[in-house]
Structure 1
Amino acid sequence: MLKLRTTEEESSREISQLRQAALENNERLLDEMLCQEIYKKVINYRGGWGIASTPLHAAVSKGHLSCLQVLLTHGALVDCVDVKAQTPLFAAVRGKYLDCVLALLRSGADPNGSAYNICSPVLTAARDGDVEILQELLKHGAEANSRSRVLLWTSSARVSSGPLYLAAVYGHIECFKLLLLYGADPDYNCAYARLLSTIKQPKTVLEMCLRHGCGVEYIQLLIDFGANVYLPTLIIEKSTKQNEAVELLLQERGNPKALTSLCRLAVRRYLKKINKMHCIEQLDMPTSLINFLQYKPLPVMIL
């Protein structure tokens, strides 16, 4: 590590020049520099003290697609990390640069970002309500459940601070539904059952939505996607929104699910288990059944 740091410091001038060209969106200059070995050898370096990111991070941070493509063509690592363990994809999602997000994903970027970062591209997109970017991440295999081990260990309330929770409390209903469609766990939104078992009285997404007074539509979606309606502790406040949500929940507790809904949930759980949720449209079955599995409204029959 010390050797790498020394090398980066010695080459800080070349790294700074690459970063500056990327920041200024000067793709021609960037291409000319990277044809020289002195610049090419430092393409994935962050530089000396005070320089936190690589030239690729610099290009993405401004949404400069052409410079991003030049850097990738010359061998920039698509999943290189900055000092915060954030990948270029994370920076593109944070900046809401859809074209850069697509370019990075098509070049093989990990849609989940770096495992060493406490956040993730999906969490960021869900919080910001960016439906298009979130969909592209999920289509390219991003995990719809919380993957931050640090947050899970912090406190029991943090168990529900995954993408579903963030989409709900920030009022992004389309992101909320999209996450559920791509297999987000409607109970804990967490993929680590072992960690859940170590936390006393973990909070479900349903309970957190009730506590935060989220609209009835969030509760209905959780119910439709198979949330356990018997898990949350009901705390009724004066909020009209919450009273409506609690009433809906109590109605669901008193009525069994339709057999068709149970079959849909069973098929979707199996597809999630074998990591084929994105293949629903390719199933050899009638379009009406595929639409049903994707929670699309059925066509109205006119007699």
Structure 2
Amino acid sequence: MRIVLLQSIKMNLMDITKIFSLLQHDKEEEDTDTGEKQALNQAVYDNDSYTLHQLLCQERYKRFINSRSGWGVPGTPLRLAASYGHLSCLQVLLAHGADVDSLDVKAQTPLFTAVSHGHLDCVRVLLEAGACPGGSIYNNCSPVLTAARDGAAAILQELLGHGAEANVKAKLPVWASNIASCSGPLYLAAVYGHLDCFRLLLLHGADPNYNCTDQHLLARVPQPPTLLEICLHHNCEPEYIQLLIDFGANIYLPSLSLDVNLQDNKGTALLLQARATPRSLLSQSRLVIRRALHQASQPQAIDQLDLPPVLISYLKHQL
């Protein structure tokens, strides 16, 4: 146990050192007049893409395209454009070679900023430009967690469609983690009442049994709650329970105990009914096909199957 703890601390110190090396200011830039930086930021702030383009055509300005500056949370011009949702300026910056995954002083990428502010168009452009859909490995949170919490279904669809992890969790060292601190996006979508996000995550392979898929963490918790328990505990609408059942949640997990006196609760009634009724062959076939495609990392291949449209819709949970 002591060895594992020391290794975790060592790894965390290495990560912290790496973060500081990424975020520290260049000495040459510190000694340079900040007029060029201010001019770039002002053009972005004014959403003046023409002036921004003219400035970046000059080497004296372009050399500061990835420099962090400004009040509050110092960041690059690209972060500023993503924050305000100034799409044209964002496109100009990317066209002139701005680092799409540049970090601000909180180790957040422009994509994370765009997601946090709900700017769907900026999210799309950044992802198409190659932004990492998972954000920065040096930031505790992720774009998927933020979108699931905020109920931004369209943004979540873009992130998952570009390969973001549906089972992502907050990035915390093992020794500082617990079930509560490692809430995954499926948990957040449920407790904040975002059914569309909940369904999207399941469609993209989110685990219907546990909120957290970290086996080391689950091993440290005597009886980790299942998502079915979480949804029942938070009095989620029965649609959440039905989705978990449809996506193959284990309704017989030992940790899941139901009071028969709660049958008047619609969610509980659905679960009790599922326990008493064998899953249909059609439902089992859908689970097998979807799991096989996810294991092959080809979930979108459902549309290419030689099946009638009604069965394709069933496989995609559109019926």
TM-score scaled by length of structure 1:
0.89
Which residues in structure 2 correspond to 1:138-149 (within 5 Å)? Answer: 138-149=160-171
**Partner of residue 283, structure 1:** 305
Q: Is the 8 A contact 1:182 1:278 kept in 2?
A: no
Report how many aligned residue pairs link the two structures.
Answer: 295
Q: Name the stretch that deviates more: 46-55 or 88-97.
A: 46-55
**Partner of residue 180, structure 2:** 157
Which residues in structure 2 correspond to 1:86-235 (within 5 Å)? Answer: 86-150=108-172, 154-159=177-182, 161-231=183-253, 232-234=255-257
**Partner of residue 30, structure 2:** 9
CA distance in 2, matches of 1:140, 1:168: 23
Q: Which amino acid aligns with 1:128?
A: D
Q: Is the 8 A contact 1:27 1:67 kept in 2?
A: yes
Q: Is the 8 A contact 1:9 1:49 kept in 2?
A: no
**Can you list the C-alpha shifts for 1:150-177, whole angstroms capped at 9, x where unaligned?**
2875212344x21111111111111111
Q: Is the 8 A contact 1:22 1:59 kept in 2?
A: yes
CA distance in 2, matches of 1:89, 1:21: 20
CA distance in 2, matches of 1:58, 1:296: 39
1:59 to 81, 103, 108: 81
Return closer, same or farther for 1:175/1:96 CA change in 2, 3 Å cut-off. Answer: same
Q: 1:101 aligns to what SS in structure 2?
A: helix
Which residues in structure 2 correspond to 1:242-257 (within 5 Å)? Answer: 243-257=265-279
Q: Which amino acid aligns with 1:179?
A: L
Please tell me the root mean square deviation across aligned C-alpha atoms, in Å: 2.4
Q: Which amino acid aligns with 2:256?
A: T
Return closer, same or farther for 1:8/1:283 CA change in 2, 3 Å cut-off. Answer: farther
Return closer, same or farther for 1:239/1:230 CA change in 2, 3 Å cut-off. Answer: closer
Task: Report whether the alignment pairs 1:70 with 2:92.
Answer: yes
TM-score scaled by length of structure 2:
0.84
Please list every run of 5 or more consecutive structure 1 residues that lacks an aligned counterpart in the other structure: 298-303
Q: Which amino acid aligns with 1:88?
A: P
CA distance in 2, matches of 1:193, 1:94: 29
Q: Is the 8 A contact 1:78 1:104 kept in 2?
A: yes
**Partner of residue 82, structure 1:** 104
Return closer, same or farther for 1:126/1:48 CA change in 2, 3 Å cut-off. Answer: closer
Q: 2:172 aligns to what SS in structure 1?
A: helix
Please list every run of 5 or more consecutive structure 2 residues that lacks an aligned counterpart in the other structure: 1-20
Q: Which amino acid aligns with 1:10?
A: D
What is the aligned-residue identity percentage?
55
Q: Which amino acid aligns with 1:155?
A: N
Return closer, same or farther for 1:44/1:275 CA change in 2, 3 Å cut-off. Answer: same
Q: Which amino acid aligns with 2:98?
A: A
CA distance in 2, matches of 1:271, 1:101: 27
Give 1:14 deviation, angstroms. 2.2
Q: Which amino acid aligns with 2:45?
A: L
CA distance in 2, matches of 1:73, 1:284: 41
Give 1:197 deviation, angstroms. 2.9
Q: Name the stretch that deviates more: 284-293 or 147-156.
A: 147-156
**Can you list the C-alpha shifts for 1:39-97, whole angstroms capped at 9, x where unaligned?**
11121111388652110000111100000011001110111111111111111111111
Q: Which amino acid aligns with 1:250?
A: L
CA distance in 1, matches of 2:259, 2:68: 53
Give 1:191 deviation, angstroms. 4.1
Q: Is the 8 A contact 2:263 2:269 kept in 1?
A: no
CA distance in 2, matches of 1:179, 1:28: 40
The 4+ residue runs of structure 1 with deviation greater than 6 A are 237-241
Q: Name the stretch that deviates more: 182-191 or 26-35.
A: 182-191
Q: Is the 8 A contact 1:89 1:109 kept in 2?
A: yes
Q: Is the 8 A contact 1:157 1:202 kept in 2?
A: no
